Structure 1
Amino acid sequence: MDSDLFHELLYLNILRLQRRKVLRRRKRRWSVHPANRDRNPNGFFWKNFLKLKEDDQKLFALTRMNRPVYNLLLNIISPFLKKPKQQIGVEERVVITLMYLAYGTPFEIIASMHKLGKTTVRNIVLETCEIFWLHLCPIYLSEPTTAQYKDIAADFLKLWNIPNCVGAIDGKHIAIIRPQNSGSLFYNYKKFYSIVLMASCDARYTFTSASIGSYGGQSDGGVFQQTKFGQALLENKLPLPPRAPLWNGSSTDFPHFFVADAAFPLKENLMRPYPGAQLPRNKAIFNYRLSRARRVIENSFGILTARWRVLRKIHL
Structure 2
Amino acid sequence: MSMEAFDNLLSIVGPHLQRSHTHLRKAISPMERLLITLRYLATGESYASLHLQFRVGKSTLSGIVKETCTMIWQYMQPISLPSPNQERWLQAASGFQSVSYFPNCIGAVDGKHIRVQQPPGSGSRFYNYKKYFSVVLMVVADVQYKFIAIEVGAYGSSGDSRMLMYSEFGRHVLQNQVILPPPKPLPGTMNPLPYVFVSEEVSHFCRT
TM-score by length of 2: 0.92
Q: Aligned match of 2:16 in 64, 67, 80?
A: 80
Residue 214 of structure 1 pairs with residue 154 of structure 2: yes
Distance 2:176 2:167 in 1: 14
Counterparts of residues 150-229 of structure 1 (less than 5 Å)? 150-229=90-169
**Quick one: which amino acid aligns to residue 204 of structure 2?**
L
Structure 1 residue ranges without an equivalent (≥5): 1-64, 271-316
Preserved contact between residue 255 and residue 268 of structure 1 (Cα < 8 Å): no
1:69 paired residue number: 5
Counterparts of residues 1-316 of structure 1 (less than 5 Å)? 65-85=1-21, 87-247=27-187, 249-262=188-201, 264-267=202-205, 269=207
Structure 2 residue ranges without an equivalent (≥5): none
Give the C-alpha shift of residue 142 in structure 1: 1.7
Closer/same/farther in 2, CA of residues 78 and 101 from structure 1, 3 Å limit: same
Structure (1 or 2) with the greater helix fraction: 1
User: Counterpart of 2:204 in 1: which secondary structure?
Assistant: coil
Give the C-alpha shift of residue 139 in structure 1: 2.2
Q: Of the two, which has the highest radius of gyration?
A: 1
Give the C-alpha shift of residue 67 in structure 1: 2.6
1:184-204: CA deviation from partner (whole Å, max 9, x where unpaired): 111111111111111111111
**Quick one: which amino acid aligns to residue 198 of structure 2?**
V
**Quick one: which amino acid aligns to residue 158 of structure 2?**
Q
Distance 2:86 2:121 in 1: 45
**Quick one: which amino acid aligns to residue 107 of structure 1?**
Y
Distance 1:173 1:268 in 2: 22
**Quick one: which amino acid aligns to residue 100 of structure 2?**
W
1:289 paired residue number: none
Preserved contact between residue 159 and residue 203 of structure 1 (Cα < 8 Å): yes
Matched residues, number: 204
Identity of aligned residues (%): 37
1:189-238: CA deviation from partner (whole Å, max 9, x where unpaired): 11111111111111111111111111111111111112111011122322
Give the C-alpha shift of residue 68 in structure 1: 2.6
Distance 2:85 2:30 in 1: 34
TM-score by length of 1: 0.61
User: Counterpart of 2:12 in 1: which secondary structure?
Assistant: helix
**Quick one: which amino acid aligns to residue 251 of structure 1?**
M
User: Counterpart of 1:266 in 2: which secondary structure?
Assistant: helix
Preserved contact between residue 225 and residue 231 of structure 1 (Cα < 8 Å): yes
Distance 2:41 2:205 in 1: 37
